[in-house]
Structure formats: structure tokens, C-alpha cells
Chain A
Amino acid sequence: MSLAVKNARPSLWRRLDPAVATAFGCIVLLLFVGSLYSRNFLSPEYLLQQLKVASFLGVIASGMMLAILIGQIDLSLPWVVTVGAMMSCAIGGHGTWGSLLAAPVGILCGIAIGLVNGVGVAYLRIPSMIITLATNAVAQGLMVVYTGGFSPRDSASPVMRYIATGFAIPGLPNAVLCWALVGAVTVILLTRTTFGRAIYGIGNRERAAYLSGVNTRAIVVVVFALSGGASAFGGVLLAGYASKAAQSMGDAYLLPAIAAVVLGGTSILGGKGTYLGTVAGVLLITLLQSILSVMQIPEFGRQIIYGVVIIGMLLLYGRERLLR
């Protein structure tokens, strides 16, 4: 056997993360269970519809994944989603320019909140769980003052609606295209840039990354800004989909986003995880929610099954090493 063969990259099978493989296995299992219930589960229309619904969570979870990879967490997600939606709707009402600028402005608002989170975590060294909770409360407070506590009357601009529901490529919803775009950028950032290397480094040990000459604090700030931007983009898409923003529309996305990232094999302690896993987690959560609602299981049953499935799957592959 020559040396060259030994040094070749390990085979695809060896490189496959068991967590990601299990997650995809569970997706197949869910589809199988669903198809026993109704034939429609395997129809292209249903699968495409699920992909479209998953893309909102997918965009939001991409940001959450970056935050979790550096060993932090972004709990400001619910109201950043809402801020993105409400601000873009507010701008969208002001003529052609407003309509065009609606989405970028919404995303910029999310980035601004993310920057506050990042500065708090990186420079003030406040635990991310606390500072993001506080900015979440501030964002909520700002939106309550802005809307007077009611759903705002502004509706989404035509451009936003096109981004969320249109078809730039026939047969493929634009929302899915957006997720693919966000996903591609995330994958390139994580695997092809020094920035991505630094993210994994910080997640493993920030001290070591700092001593290796990485400007860890700047990177943490950028990661939180990206996380805020992704959440707000998710909000813009949701507003375009529902054609308006609503109070606490982001609340339903915090736990699924964290669950999707963790079910995809990303360590909640940071430093380990692939984007493919997050995609698997997002699809898994979306399919689970969809199947439970198609089976017309009442809300309480859905919550219980949802929790039990997450714990059960994590027990399969998310366990930590035994302390020895």
C-alpha cells in the first residue's frame, strides 16, 4: 500500500458525522410514518410546501448556529424576528423606495441589535444568556411603544411579498432560494475562510484562540451581528409570507431554532458542528410539526410529543462523555 493512499482524505463514510446521519435517518423514518398515514406525504407538492415552511426556520437557525458554535446563545431571537418584520413593514409603506429598501432596513435593525449583544458579550464579558435576554426585553419594549401594543397596520411591501412567496425560478419558491443563499454563505464562511476557523477555535477555547493571535472579541461581535441579521431576515420573510407583522410572532421560533441546531449534532458548548446537520435538524423539526398537525393531534399532545422526541433523539446521540 503506497503512502499516497494512506494520506488521502478519509472516505465519505468515515467523514459522516453519526449525529447528522441519525438526524437524516429520523427524517426518513418520519416520512415513512407519515406515508403510512396518508399517501400525500410523499407527493412532490407536499414536500415542496414543507421545504418552503422550513426555509423560514432555516434562515433563522443559521444565525443561531453561528452563535452556538462560538459557545454562546442568542436568546434575543424572538423579538429580533419581530423587529425585522415590523420595521420592514413600516418602511415598506413609503413609496417605491420604501418598498425596495424594506427588507434591507429590517435586516439592518436586526444587525444593530446583534451588535449590542456582541459588544456586551465580547467587550463587557456579560454571559450571552443574560445580555441577549436584556436586549430581547428592550426590543420588545421598543416595539410595544412603537405599535401601542397592537398589531401594526402597515402591511408588507410587494417586494417583500415577492421575496417570500414569489417564484424567480419556476417551481422553486423564493423563500427556499433565500435559505439556499443564506446556507451557502454560512457554509463558505465556516469552511473556506479564516473567520470560520476562528469561530470553531473560539468555540473550543476562546483563550487558546486569543493566544493564537485571533482577534476573538471582534469575531464574537461579528457573529452576534450575523445572528441578529439572520433572525431579522427570517422576520422579513415571515412578514412577506403573512403579508403583515404581528406582536410576538417570533416567540414560536426560539425553541425550534435551538432544537434544530442541537438535533443537527452541533454541540451546545460550541466548537463542533456542521451546517449539513443544521439543515437536517430544521427539516426534522418542520416535518415533525407538520405531521403532528396533519394527524390532528391536539395542541397539548403536540407539545408533549415534541418534547419527548427531542429528549429521545438527544439521548440517542447528543450525550456527553462520562466523567472519569
Chain B
Amino acid sequence: MRDWRFWLAGQRGALLAFAIFVVMFTIYCANHPAGFSVNVVETAANKGVLLAFVAMAQSFVVITAGIDLSVGMIFTLTNCLASALVIGSPLSAGLGVIAVLAAGALCGAINGLIVIYGRLQPIVATIASGAVFFGLALALRPTPGGGVEETLADAFTGRLFDTIPASLVTLVAVAALVWIPFRRSVTGRAAYAVGSSEPAAYMSGVPIRRAKFVAYTLSGLLAGFGGLFLTFFTYTGDAAYASGNTYTLFSIAAVVLGGVSLFGGSGSAIGAIFGALAFRTIGDLLFVFDFDPLWQPLFQGVVLLLAVSISAFGLLRVRNRLDWFG
């Protein structure tokens, strides 16, 4: 009984995000002209999965009390790489996929090394490394272009058994293969410990460096998955500064919505996924209500503002005023 309550308390953020997502998605489907059909779900899934990958990537780093402002640029860089490498025969396309994911992981690892051994603050280090990643993407694709092996792309963006969106299945598979082993390993626990209190973790002999390095590397890998999927959807590579920046900013919003604390040490990548899906659905709500698309950015901004303000209710429970200052 107590175990169950403990688990529930730990997953409160993720469950809240899941609830918001279900409510929003129900409203979305109820008002969509096509209703709750396979097509609607597939389109929504394909849009949501991109942000979900990037938000998962962000959550790994945020759990260690860091932040990765280059995550959108890794996403853009891997998108451009995939548009050049995932082509040709099945073998070369397959090798291309591996190369793209490895490049994403490498970008994350570089961030990790700068933060760990350079001892720079993650926020400034990743701003600067993001500029480098974007420069590389721009060198690769000065203008939008390139291509992708279309059968492979369609297989990942289509449906399984004509009902389940394949992108959603991939997302679940990646979450199961990357997040769950990480969460259950010593390294994963060390990442939470580092996020809660780095000096305390150090004093307890927790492998701080390994935890941070793995978190940053996996973050890069997941951003690479996002970039790969973007290529699968669009068939092109595009080094767009605005889009990369938007994904970085939205990933932070999604992570917070999904119950991952920006101060580190709590939350999960699963919460980040639901945060991302909820955030995307909120953004799309306007379309089904036939509003002028011009109002979409304002609507999304106001919803974000309200969503982050909800956390202020926690202040009512504070007994000691000093707890205001965290």
C-alpha cells in the first residue's frame, strides 16, 4: 500500500500531463470534422512524436539539474545529415540511420565533455555548442534539399496493421529501450542524485561524471531520433534557425508541463513525452475550432503562461516563508 502511494507521488507530474493530454485530445477529436479516426490519430501522432523525442532528450539533461539549449540544433543537424545519408540501397540507408543516430549521440557527448571537464555552466556551454551545431547543419544544407529513402520513411510514418501509427510504436520502443534501462541502472540513479544535490552525491561516492556523460550522450541520441523522424516526414533536410530554436524552447515547456523539475532530481522522460503530446494538442486545438491561424501563437503563449502559473498553487502549502526561495 505504501509502495503504491510512494510511486504515485513520484509520478504525479507525469500523470497530470497524461490527464491534460487525454482531456485535450478528447476535445480535439470531438470537434474535429473527421472525429476519432485513424487518420486524425496518425497525423496528430506524427506531429507529436517529433516534439516528444526532443522533450525526452531535454529531460535526460534536466534531471541532472542541467539544461541543453542546443537540443533543437542537434535536431536540425541530424535532420540535415539524414537527408544526405539515409539514401540508396537498404544497406546504405540502414548504415545512414546508424550514422545519423551516432552523430546525434556524439553531439550530446561533446556537450557532456564540455560541461564535465570544461566545468562550464550547461546553459552557456550549450548555447555556444548550439551555434556550432547549427553552423555544421548550414554547411551541409545551405538551402533546403536532399532526400531520403522513401520506402523506409513511409514505413516509419505510416501505420502498423492499418490502425496503429508506426511513429508512435517507435516512440514507445525507444522509450522502453533507452529510458527504462537508464532509469533502472546505477548510472540513472546517479543522474537523479546529481540533480538533487551534486555535493551530496559526490560525498556519497556516486559516479557523477559517468552519470552526467551518459545523460548528455543519450540526450543527443534522442535528439538524433527526432531529427531522423523529421527527415522521414518532410523528405528533406533544412537548416532552419527558427525551427531549431522553437524546438529547444518547446522542449523546455514540454518538460516542465510533464512534471520534470528544472532544478533537477525529479520527473521522468515518460512525463516529458506526455508533456510534449499535451503541448502539441493544445497548439492544434485552435485549428479544429476554426479560429484564424493568426491567433495560434497568442493562444499557445497564453496557455503556456497559465500552465506554468499553475505550479504557483504549491506556494499555498508552504508553511515556512523561507521555503519560497527554494
B is bound to A: yes
Instruction: Say which one of A97-105, A237-245, A301-309 lies at the interface with B.
Output: A301-309
Query: Which of the residues A133, A298, A318 comes within 8 Å of B252, measured between beta carbons?
Result: A133
Is residue A124 within 8 Å, beta carbon to beta carbon, of the partner chain? Answer: yes
> Is B131 touching A303 in the complex (CB atoms < 8 A)?
yes
Q: Mark A185-205, 1 if CB is under 8 A from B, else 0.
A: 000000000000000000000
Is residue A315 within 8 Å, beta carbon to beta carbon, of the partner chain? Answer: yes
By a CB distance below 8 angstroms, the chain A residues around B263 are: 127
By a CB distance below 8 angstroms, the chain B residues around A123 are: 312
Bound complex: CA A304 to CA B309 (Å): 37
Given the known A-B contacts A133-B252, A258-B127, are A145 and B301 also in contact in the complex, defined by CB atoms under 8 Å?
no
Given the known A-B contacts A125-B324, A126-B309, A259-B128, are A303 and B300 also in contact in the complex, defined by CB atoms under 8 Å?
no
Bound complex: CA A200 to CA B117 (Å): 28
> Is B312 touching A125 in the complex (CB atoms < 8 A)?
yes
By a CB distance below 8 angstroms, the chain B residues around A206 are: 325
Q: Which residue of A lies closest to B198 (CB)?
A: A323
Is residue B121 within 8 Å, beta carbon to beta carbon, of the partner chain? Answer: yes
Minimum distance in angstroms from B68 CB to a CB of chain A? 12
Is residue B253 within 8 Å, beta carbon to beta carbon, of the partner chain? Answer: yes
Q: Which residue of B lies closest to A135 (CB)?
A: B305
Is residue A40 within 8 Å, beta carbon to beta carbon, of the partner chain? Answer: no
> Is B311 touching A126 in the complex (CB atoms < 8 A)?
yes
Within 8 A of B (CB), among A244-270: 248, 251, 255, 258-259, 262, 268-269
> Is B253 touching A311 in the complex (CB atoms < 8 A)?
no
> Is A130 touching B127 in the complex (CB atoms < 8 A)?
no
Minimum distance in angstroms from A65 CB to a CB of chain B? 14
Is residue B326 within 8 Å, beta carbon to beta carbon, of the partner chain? Answer: yes
Bound complex: CA A251 to CA B121 (Å): 22
> Is B120 touching A311 in the complex (CB atoms < 8 A)?
yes
Minimum distance in angstroms from B267 CB to a CB of chain A? 13
Is residue A16 within 8 Å, beta carbon to beta carbon, of the partner chain? Answer: no
Q: Is the interface of A mostly helix, strand, loop or mixed?
A: helix
Given the known A-B contacts A126-B311, A148-B294, A303-B138, are A258 and B124 also in contact in the complex, defined by CB atoms under 8 Å?
yes
> Which of B294, B301, B321 has the most chain A CB atoms closer than 10 A to its own CB?
B301
Query: Interface size bucket, B side?
Result: 35 or more
Minimum distance in angstroms from B40 CB to a CB of chain A? 26
Q: Which residue of A lies closest to B122 (CB)?
A: A268
Within 8 A of B (CB), among A275-324: 298-308, 310-311, 314-315, 318-323
Query: Which of the residues B137, B202, B242, B308 comes within 8 Å of A131, measured between beta carbons?
Result: B308
> Is B322 touching A210 in the complex (CB atoms < 8 A)?
yes
Minimum distance in angstroms from A302 CB to a CB of chain B? 7
> Is B297 touching A141 in the complex (CB atoms < 8 A)?
yes
> Is A125 touching B326 in the complex (CB atoms < 8 A)?
yes
Minimum distance in angstroms from A75 CB to a CB of chain B? 8
Query: Which of the residues A126, A140, A318 comes within 8 Å of B297, measured between beta carbons?
Result: A140
Query: Which of the residues A73, A133, A302, A318 comes within 8 Å of B120, measured between beta carbons?
Result: A318
Is residue A180 within 8 Å, beta carbon to beta carbon, of the partner chain? Answer: no
By a CB distance below 8 angstroms, the chain A residues around B308 are: 120, 126, 130-131, 134
Q: Which residue of A lies closest to B70 (CB)?
A: A307
By a CB distance below 8 angstroms, the chain B residues around A302 are: 135
> Is A268 touching B304 in the complex (CB atoms < 8 A)?
no
Is residue B23 within 8 Å, beta carbon to beta carbon, of the partner chain? Answer: no
> Is A259 touching B325 in the complex (CB atoms < 8 A)?
no
> Is A262 touching B132 in the complex (CB atoms < 8 A)?
no
By a CB distance below 8 angstroms, the chain A residues around B312 are: 123-126
> Is A134 touching B305 in the complex (CB atoms < 8 A)?
yes
Is residue B75 within 8 Å, beta carbon to beta carbon, of the partner chain? Answer: no
Query: Which of the residues B118, B241, B262, B315 comes within 8 Å of A130, measured between beta carbons?
Result: B262
Bound complex: CA A258 to CA B311 (Å): 27
Q: Mark B99-137, 1 if CB is under 8 A from A, else 0.
A: 000000000000000100011110111011111111111
> Which of A130, A299, A322 has the most chain B CB atoms closer than 10 A to its own CB?
A130
By a CB distance below 8 angstroms, the chain B residues around A136 are: 249, 301
Q: Which residue of B lies closest to A323 (CB)?
A: B202
Minimum distance in angstroms from B53 CB to a CB of chain A? 20
Is residue A184 within 8 Å, beta carbon to beta carbon, of the partner chain? Answer: no
Given the known A-B contacts A131-B308, A141-B298, A314-B128, are A319 and B120 also in contact in the complex, defined by CB atoms under 8 Å?
yes
> Is A134 touching B131 in the complex (CB atoms < 8 A)?
no
> Is A311 touching B129 in the complex (CB atoms < 8 A)?
yes
Minimum distance in angstroms from B163 CB to a CB of chain A? 35
Give chain A's interface residues, CB within 8 Å of chain B: 73, 75, 120, 123-127, 129-131, 133-142, 144-145, 148-149, 206-207, 210-211, 216, 248, 251, 255, 258-259, 262, 268-269, 298-308, 310-311, 314-315, 318-323
New contact pairs (20) apart from A320-B119, A322-B119, CB-CB < 8 Å: A123-B312, A126-B311, A126-B312, A130-B252, A133-B252, A138-B301, A139-B301, A145-B294, A149-B294, A248-B242, A258-B124, A259-B124, A269-B121, A298-B142, A303-B138, A304-B131, A306-B135, A311-B114, A318-B121, A323-B199
Q: List 18 A-B contacts (CB under 8 A).
A: A124-B312, A125-B324, A126-B311, A129-B67, A129-B252, A129-B262, A131-B305, A134-B305, A137-B249, A137-B304, A138-B304, A142-B298, A210-B322, A210-B325, A300-B139, A304-B131, A307-B133, A310-B131
Give chain B's interface residues, CB within 8 Å of chain A: 67, 114, 118-121, 123-125, 127-139, 142, 198-199, 202, 208, 241-242, 245, 249, 252-253, 256, 262-263, 294-302, 304-305, 308-309, 311-312, 315, 321-322, 324-326
Top-9 shortest CB links A-B: A141-B298, A303-B135, A137-B301, A307-B131, A304-B135, A307-B132, A138-B301, A124-B312, A300-B138
